[in-house]
Amino acid sequence: MNLDASIAEDTTPRKETPHGFTLVVLQSSSLCNLNCRYCYVPGRMAAEKMDNETLDAAFRLTVGAEDRRKVTHEFLWHAGEPLAVGLPFMRNAVERCVDIALADTRFQFTVQTNGVLVTPQWARFLKEWNFGVGISIDGPHFLHDANRRNWANEPTHDKARRGLDILLNEGCNTSVLAVLTKDSLDYPDEIFDYFLASGTPGLGFNIEEIENQNTETSFGANPMGKHNKDAHQRRVRAFFDRLFERWWPHRDKIQIREFVDVMRCASAFRADNGFSRSPDEGRMLGIVTIMRNGKVATFSPEFAGATSSAYGDFVVGDVHTMSSLNDILASPVYARLKNDIQSGITACRDNCIYYPICGSSFISNRYFEHGTFLQPETFTCVAMRQTVAEAAFAGLAHEAKKGHAGQSPSAYQG
Ligand code: SF4
């Protein structure tokens, strides 16, 4: 799972519902103004939007439900391009949520956008409602425009970058999410310099993934194949080694999500060796995805819109007919998913030395890469958990040896 707009994931293990946290992914439309090469979202030319009845039902089951009073809900607007629904739609949706929310409920809004449609009006609205905004930019022109094109196959970097500048100028709580392709691994300096100069306070990375409609990536259709894995991992490691080296002196100006998460987890593990990360996607009702038509998926949002011989369309409910979010737990599809996902989590816990800093992540990648949840290691986890951790630990050890003043790197080392 990779679509969190908040740059620094909370790595504190959360209790399960109803006393915890639920990320509610709202897919108000699958429409997208772009046609990025690696996109996995189906139906990106379909303009239909979520109607008021569906919005209200979604909010009644979450912030309007007595049985969820103690849960913090994060509403993440995501997939295709959330701003494509227009500002009046989004204002109406947010106001409906606030009207329906019971007193004393805690909730927040986040959005993941490609940035192209951002205007000062949008930015003021997002600021007014204290949205966390994730904006997708892959780096300088030559990297971004290689993959992020519109439907006329035109480059989009300049428009996305203008969106980022507007968001930062308006003081929106903004961070950047960059996709790493095979080619971009050759450019850690260019990528770091670009984002440092942009002024973004937060930066996260996703490696290009085999997911749903995206069945082959720049790393090939089988990146975990016999000869492929080691070669890719060496290049990923070189990228993050260099990135860490460049980032460390500037860590007060820009947070790199992957390094910050590893260091937080390592620090928590040092304090308590029973600690392990607890990703939302593996927890009961940690993530609930509500599709435009009100159908509900859970665990990874990437399951929404996918089909499978084992799990059908991954649908575990419909907001129009559910009386409680807990109805999901009675769904036969949920029961099968939960059982199989838990087996994968157990395999991670029993076999992987990275489990404390990972907690069994990228569950949907597991399914889409291997066709099963039982084979836990994926190209994504090798790259973005195992290799990132090795690079961060090596970087910290190097900094500790240099004896840099300030925040001690050794505080994070296990
Ligand atoms: S790094 Fe991979 S194999 Fe290890 S715990 Fe995480 S998901 Fe499981």
Evaluate: CB of 1 within 6 angstroms of ligand 1.
Answer: no
pLDDT category of residue 14 using cuts at 50, 70 and 90: very low
Question: Is 1-403 a domain of CATH 3.20.20.70?
Answer: yes
With a cut of 70, say whether residue 62 has pLDDT above it: yes
**d(CA 214, ligand 1 centre) in Å:** 22
Residue spans of the domains in the chain: they are 1-403
| Residue with CA nearest ligand 1 atom 3 | 377
pLDDT in tens, 152-195: 999 999 999 999 999 999 999 999 999 999 999 999 999 999 99
Pick from 386, 387, 388 the residue to mutate for probing ligand 1's pocket: most ligand atoms within 8 Å of its CB: 386
| DSSP assignment letter at 25 | E
SS3 283: coil
**d(CA 262, ligand 1 centre) in Å:** 13
Look at residues 147, 223, 141 and name the one whose alpha carbon lies nearest to residue 387: 223
SS3 content of the chain, % helix, strand, coil (to 5): 45, 15, 40
Are residues 38 and 179 in contact, defined by beta-carbon separation less than 8 angstroms? Answer: yes
Are residues 296 and 319 in contact, defined by beta-carbon separation less than 8 angstroms? Answer: yes
In this structure, which amino acid lies at residue 312?
G
Evaluate: CB of 23 within 6 angstroms of ligand 1.
Answer: no
CA distance 83 to 62: 23
3-state secondary structure labels for all residues of 374-404: CCCCCHHHHHHHHHHHHHHHHHHHHHHHHCC
Look at residues 264, 216, 231 and name the one whose alpha carbon lies nearest to residue 382: 231
Look at residues 62, 132, 66, 71 and name the one whose alpha carbon lies nearest to residue 97: 62
Kindly give the pairing relationship between strand 287-290 and strand 295-298: antiparallel
Which whole number is the average pLDDT over 218-222? 76
pLDDT category of residue 7 using cuts at 50, 70 and 90: very low
pLDDT value of residue 404? 58
β-bridge mates for residue 57, sequence order: none
β-bridge mates for residue 232, sequence order: none
pTM here is 0.90
Evaluate: CB of 385 within 6 angstroms of ligand 1.
Answer: yes
Evaluate: CB of 358 within 6 angstroms of ligand 1.
Answer: yes
Evaluate: CB of 384 within 6 angstroms of ligand 1.
Answer: no
pLDDT value of residue 156? 96
Evaluate: CB of 386 within 6 angstroms of ligand 1.
Answer: yes
pLDDT in tens, 317-341: 999 999 999 999 999 999 999 999 9
pLDDT value of residue 212? 66
pLDDT in tens, 231-240: 889 999 999 9
pLDDT in tens, 99-118: 999 998 999 999 999 999 99
Evaluate: CB of 373 within 6 angstroms of ligand 1.
Answer: no
**d(CA 385, ligand 1 centre) in Å:** 7
**d(CA 9, ligand 1 centre) in Å:** 17
Look at residues 175, 188, 173 and name the one whose alpha carbon lies nearest to residue 140: 188
CA distance 387 to 3: 20
Look at residues 381, 349, 387 and name the one whose alpha carbon lies nearest to residue 364: 381
Q: Which two tokens stand for residue 373?
A: 């949840």
Which whole number is the average pLDDT over 64-68? 95
Evaluate: CB of 355 within 6 angstroms of ligand 1.
Answer: yes
User: For ligand 1, what atom is nearest to the CA of residue 353?
Assistant: 4
With a cut of 90, say whether residue 349 has pLDDT above it: yes
With a cut of 60, say whether residue 36 has pLDDT above it: yes
Q: Where is average pLDDT lowest: 77-81, 269-273, 377-381?
A: 77-81
With a cut of 70, say whether residue 139 has pLDDT above it: yes
**d(CA 18, ligand 1 centre) in Å:** 27
